[in-house]
Structure 1
Amino acid sequence: MTSVERNDGTVGKALSVLDQIASYGRPVRFGELLADSDMPKATLYRFVQTLTNQGMLQYEPERQTYAPGLRLVRLAHAAWAQSSLAPVARLHVDALSAETGETVHLAQLDHAQVLYVDKRNARDPVEMFSQAGKVGPAYCTGVGKAMLAFLPEPELQTALAQQSWHQFTSATHGSAVSLQRELAEIREEGLSFDREEHEIGIVCVAVPILNSQSRPLGALSVTGTTRRTNLDALRNLGPRLKQAAAAIARDAESWLFPRTSAQPTPQNNGEMSHVRSDA
C-alpha cells in the first residue's frame, strides 16, 4: 500500500513521486513519469517542480531529466547514522566477516520489506542482489523471515498481506500459509535459512536482533554460495551469529535509550523539573 492509498495527502503524494523517480535507477524524463503515473499532468508537474526547488530532485536541463537530489543524500546519511543499526553493529559485523570469510548482512524491516543497512563481502566476493541501501522481499530471505517470525501477531498479519509472493525460484514460498509454518520453526530454533529462495545458488543462515521485549530491531546473516558451503555448515555458525546479535541488541539499547544528564524529579508542588544526575 502506498502513501497515496493511505490518504496521507500532499506529503504522501510528493513522497510517492520521489519513490517513483528513485525506482528507475537512472535519470528520467517527465514524459516517462507521466506515462507511469496516475496523477493528472498538471498535478504531477507541480510536485516535480516543488521537489526540484527544495533540492529533493535534481534537474539536468540538457537532457531534460530528473534524478534524486543531493538533499536526499544528506538526509540519507543522517538517517543511516541516527536510525539504522549500522553504526552500532559495525564492529560486530566486521568481526563476524573476518571470522567466517563469508558475506555478512545487517538488515531492518522497512514497511514489511527488507532494507539492507550494511554488508561485508566475502573474501572471495560473489555477485548477488543484496547491497547496503537496497530493499528486498521479506518472505524469501533469511533476514526477512528472521524478523517476520518475531513480529507480534497483528503486525505479522499486516506484513504478510504486503508481500508479493513472487516465485523467484522453485523454493520460494508461494503463500502466507506455507511461510507461517516455517516462521513457527524459526521462533522455536532462533535460526532462519534462505534455501535458494531468492537467488539460485545463494544460501544463508540468519538470526533476529531482538530488544529486551523480544521485538525485532533487525537481523544478521552469513551468506554463501552452494559451490563452497551448504546449510549444515551454515547452521554450525548459528551460536556465533546469536552471540553477535545479542551483543548488537545490547549496544543498540544503550544507543537508542542513552542515560541522559537530566532526570525528571518530583517537586513539592507536584510538578516535574529537571536536575543533573551528577549533581
Structure 2
Amino acid sequence: MGAMDKSPQTADGTVGKALHVLDMVAAHMRPVRFNDILTDSPYPKATLYRLLQTLTNQGMLSFDPDGGTYAPGIRLVRLAHSAWRQSSLAPLARPHLDELSSQVQETIHLAQLDRGQVLYVDKRNAATPVEMFSQAGKVGPGYCTGVGKAMMAYLNDDAREDAIRHQSYFRHTDHTLTSPDALRAELAHIRSRGVAYDREEHEVGIICIAAPILLPGGRMIGALSITTSTQHKSLRDLDQLEPMLQACANNIAGAAENWQFPS
C-alpha cells in the first residue's frame, strides 16, 4: 500500500481532521510521541496539539505522561468492539471458516472492503503456517490481493471506478498490476470467471484463489480466500479447491442474508 494521504480532511471540518489524527496515531502500531505525529501531520503544531487534547479528553486517545506518548483510548476500543460485532462478517462466518480450514489445511482469509482497501476481518492459519503480510485487523491493498480484486470486481460501476482510483499501483513484485487499465481488465475477467487469483502480486511466493461473498440479490459483502506458498502448491492445485471455497462463500452469504451490513 502507498504512503498515508497527508492532505487535510478540510471538507469534513474539525471532525474530519480529528479522525485523520486518529488514523495517524493508529498507523504507527505503537504508542507515539507528539513530534512523530507532527512529522506525518499536514496541520500546524498548535492545531495538532489541540486536536490531540480533544481526542484525549474524549477518551478516543490515551496519553502516557511518563513516556509522553499517545495511543488509542479505551473509548475508541469500546466503539471498535461494538462496530466489530455489528458490522463485521467475522462472527457469522466463524463456523464456516473453521470447516473450510479443516477441509483444505491451508490459510483462510475473510475480508471486507473499505474505500478500495482490504480489511482482513478473520484468518485461519494452515497446518504448516507460512509467514505473510495479512493478519486479522490489518489493512492491505485492493489491487494486488485476491480478496481485494474479488470484491472490487463485484462492485457497481460507479463504486468500482471509485475503488480503482483509490489504488496506489505500487509495484510490490514483478507480477503486480500497476495501472488502472490493467486492473479494469483483470476485474472484468474475474466477473466472467467468478474467482480471483493472487499470482504473487503482493508478496513473492504467496498465491491464492479468492471468491466474493454475494447476497442473493448480488450485493457484495466480502470475500474469502485460500492462500498458500508456491513451495507447497501451484495455482492449478488451488483450482482443485474452488468448489469448497465457493461452497463456504455461499454458506456465509446465507448466514448473512438477514443481517444488515453497512453499504
TM-score interval (norm. to shorter): over 0.9
The 5 Å alignment of 1:143-182 reads: 143-182=147-186
The 5 Å alignment of 1:134-149 reads: 134-149=138-153
Residues 77-117 of structure 1: CA distance to partner in whole angstroms, max 9, x if unpaired? 11111101001111110100011100000000011100000
The residue aligned with 2:108 is 104
The residue aligned with 1:196 is 200
Equivalent residues, number: 257
User: For the pair shown, which has the larger CA radius of gyration, 1 or 2?
Assistant: 1
Indicate whether 1:217 and 2:245 are aligned. no
The residue aligned with 1:64 is 68
Question: Is this contact kept in 2: 1:204–1:234, CA < 8 A?
Answer: yes
Query: Do the aligned partners of residues 183 and 147 (structure 1) sit closer, same or farther apart at CA in structure 2, a change above 3 Å counting?
Result: same
Residues 231-264 of structure 1: CA distance to partner in whole angstroms, max 9, x if unpaired? 011111111111111111111012338xxxxxxx
Q: By how many angstroms is 1:5 displaced?
A: 3.6
Instruction: Report % sequence identity.
Output: 59
Question: Is this contact kept in 2: 1:145–1:183, CA < 8 A?
Answer: yes
Question: Is this contact kept in 1: 2:175–2:201, CA < 8 A?
Answer: yes
Question: Is this contact kept in 2: 1:88–1:255, CA < 8 A?
Answer: no
Aligned equivalents of 2:231 and 2:139: distance in 1?
26
Letter in 2 for 1:94: D
Question: Is this contact kept in 1: 2:9–2:20, CA < 8 A?
Answer: no
Q: By how many angstroms is 1:4 displaced?
A: 4.1
Q: Whose RCO is larger (CA < 8 A, sep 6+)?
A: 2
The 5 Å alignment of 1:26-105 reads: 26-105=30-109
Q: By how many angstroms is 1:2 displaced?
A: 7.7
Aligned equivalents of 1:103 and 1:133: distance in 2?
16
Question: TM (normalized to structure 2)?
Answer: 0.94
Residues 213-234 of structure 1: CA distance to partner in whole angstroms, max 9, x if unpaired? 2121000000000111110111
Query: Do the aligned partners of residues 116 and 3 (structure 1) sit closer, same or farther apart at CA in structure 2, a change above 3 Å counting?
Result: farther
Aligned equivalents of 2:215 and 2:32: distance in 1?
41
Root-mean-square deviation (Å): 1.4
**Structure 1 residue matching 2:93: 3-state secondary structure:** helix
Question: Is this contact kept in 1: 2:62–2:72, CA < 8 A?
Answer: yes
The residue aligned with 1:244 is 248
Query: Do the aligned partners of residues 121 and 171 (structure 1) sit closer, same or farther apart at CA in structure 2, a change above 3 Å counting?
Result: same
Question: Is this contact kept in 1: 2:6–2:41, CA < 8 A?
Answer: no
Question: Is this contact kept in 2: 1:3–1:13, CA < 8 A?
Answer: no
Aligned equivalents of 2:202 and 2:81: distance in 1?
28
Contiguous gaps of at least 5 residues in structure 1: 258-279
Aligned equivalents of 2:92 and 2:248: distance in 1?
12
Question: TM (normalized to structure 1)?
Answer: 0.89
Aligned equivalents of 1:109 and 1:152: distance in 2?
13
Aligned equivalents of 2:10 and 2:119: distance in 1?
21
Question: Is this contact kept in 2: 1:3–1:16, CA < 8 A?
Answer: no
The residue aligned with 1:186 is 190
**Structure 2 residue matching 1:254: 3-state secondary structure:** coil
Aligned equivalents of 1:60 and 1:133: distance in 2?
24
Bigger mean CA offset, 70-79 vs 147-156: 70-79
Q: By how many angstroms is 1:211 displaced?
A: 1.5
Aligned equivalents of 1:89 and 1:49: distance in 2?
39
Aligned equivalents of 2:26 and 2:103: distance in 1?
36
**Structure 1 residue matching 2:121: 3-state secondary structure:** strand
Question: Is this contact kept in 2: 1:3–1:15, CA < 8 A?
Answer: no
The residue aligned with 1:115 is 119
Contiguous gaps of at least 5 residues in structure 2: none
